Amino acid sequence: MGKQTIIPFGPQHPVLPEPIHLDLVLEDEQVLQAIPRIGFVHRGLEKLAEKKDFQDMVYVGERICGICSFIHSVAFCQAMESILGIEVPERAQSLRGFWSELSRIHSHWLWMGLLADSFGFENLFMQTWKLRESLLDLVEATAGGRVIYGSCKIGGVRRDISLELITQAQTTLKALYTQHQILASIFENDTSIQHRTQGKGMLSKDKAYELGAVGPTLRASGWPLDARLLKYGTYQNLEFQPVVETQGDCYARMRVRIREVDQSFDLINQLLKKLPDGPVETKITGMPSGEHFERVEQPRGEVVHYLKGNGSKFLERYRVRTPTFANLPALVEILKGCTFADVPIIVLSIDPCISCTER
């Protein structure tokens, strides 16, 4: 048996956009064990719910994460609407779906760029982020913000989009889709990418389920589980099948995300074609009393928002279980046995979002 060394990895590391610390127990080049430590960016957002008006909490909920911001606010609003017994107009639900899918696409492009960056493919990284930039402009033109959309509110959405904007969005998305196909083909067929990702970080089907992985990490191991299948909001009117891969390695996780971008383009097309007319918001009546457990699909997987109201304007309890938190046990498992040089790619392959995790 060789000598064991502990190498600290993170919280500051070139491939990590956010702070997570891993103590890697190495024997020669091989990782025997990884001990994660989080808690560098804890902000105590859940506690804030006890002192903030429940209508203002939407803004806080949206700021849990800077990438899947919009879907966090959708989850919070849907949970609140269930407690208050509010019916959301159909147009508002469709618009929520539209922005959710846009944020899924931009999140996956962000991740694809970071993946290319993690193995030093700077050119591809720039090309991917160039695409993402055009999408962010579209988001700004429709929602008003690039990262924080600020469009979701309890009872509906804040702003409607005109027919002209919808046509503009369709044209932009069509062009982006064509460019995505070129990038997707490079990501899937490039031999250097295949060499760095295939067979790395294997997560078997049983292990993925046992460790409670969610999102693309789970689907890349062969489980067709997607919270959008619960048919919340606008998804009850849309046709889709979850994207599934069976190999369970980094390459499979990459392919799931690439094909989910295709799927999101398709979903946006479907919902823009049959965008219903009507109001985009309803009035909020009463104070929240009761509890609700909302499951929503984010780019990284299923997020759970638990809300408990006590009849006053302040919530009694607010709890968020984010997808990265659920994927951490799987990460620790797949790091076992890999070589040290593969650690950055494997860590990135679950698409870690640490600010989400620590709230």
Residue 127 touching another protein (CB under 8 A): yes
> Are the C-beta atoms of residues 323 and 298 closer than 8 Å to each other?
yes
* Token pair listed for 211: 């460790």
| Pair 214, 326: CB distance under 8 Å | yes
For 239, the 3-state DSSP assignment is coil
Stretch that binds another protein, among 95-103, 124-132, 263-271, 335-343 (CB under 8 A): 124-132
Q: Which two tokens stand for residue 140?
A: 């700004």
Which position among 37, 43, 87, 123 is part of the footprint of another protein (CB under 8 A)? 123
Q: Which of 142, 217, 264, 322 binds another protein (CB under 8 A)?
A: 142
Nearest residue (CB) to another protein, 123 versus 339: 123
Give the residue, chosen from 17, 46, 159, 306, that forms a contact with another protein under the rule CB under 8 A.
159
Q: Least distance from C-beta 120 to another protein, angstroms?
A: 13
Q: Residue 239's beta-bridge partner residues?
A: none
Contact status, residue 223 vs residue 244, Cβ threshold 8 Å: yes
Minimum CB separation of residue 128 from another protein in Å reads 11
Among 15, 48, 166, 186, binds another protein (CB under 8 A): 186
Identify which range of 145-153, 211-219, 287-295, 339-347 contacts another protein by CB under 8 A: 145-153
Spatial separation of the C-alpha atoms in residues 245 and 353, rounded to whole Å: 22
User: Distance between CA atoms of 157 and 81, rounded to whole angstroms?
Assistant: 12
Give backbone dihedrals phi and psi of 349, rounded to 5 degrees, phi first: -65, -20
Show the binding pattern over residues 164-183: x = contacts another protein (CB under 8 A), - = does not: ------------------x-
Positive or negative CA dihedral for 176, 180, 183, 185? Answer: negative
Among 124, 157, 268, 304, binds another protein (CB under 8 A): 124
Which positions from 88 to 117 touch another protein by CB under 8 A, shown as an x/- string?
------------------------------
Residue 144 interacts with another protein (CB under 8 A): yes or no: yes
In whole angstroms, the minimum distance from the beta carbon of 87 to another protein comes to: 20
Taking alpha carbons only, the member of 237, 127, 141 closest to residue 176 is 127
Q: Which residues of 291-328 are buried (b: 16+ CB within 10 A; e: fewer)?
A: bbebbbbbbbbbbbbebbbeeeebbeebebbbbbbbbb
CA-angle at 214, arms to 208 and 219, nearest 5°? 70
Q: How far is the CB of 301 from another protein (least distance, A)?
A: 27
Cα–Cα dist 224/216, whole Å: 10
Q: Taking contact as CB under 8 A, which single stretch among the options 82-90, 102-110, 137-145, 314-322 is the one that binds another protein?
A: 137-145
The site for another protein (CB under 8 A) is made up of 52-53, 56, 59, 123-124, 126-127, 130, 133, 137, 140-142, 144-145, 148, 150, 158-159, 182, 185-186, 189-191
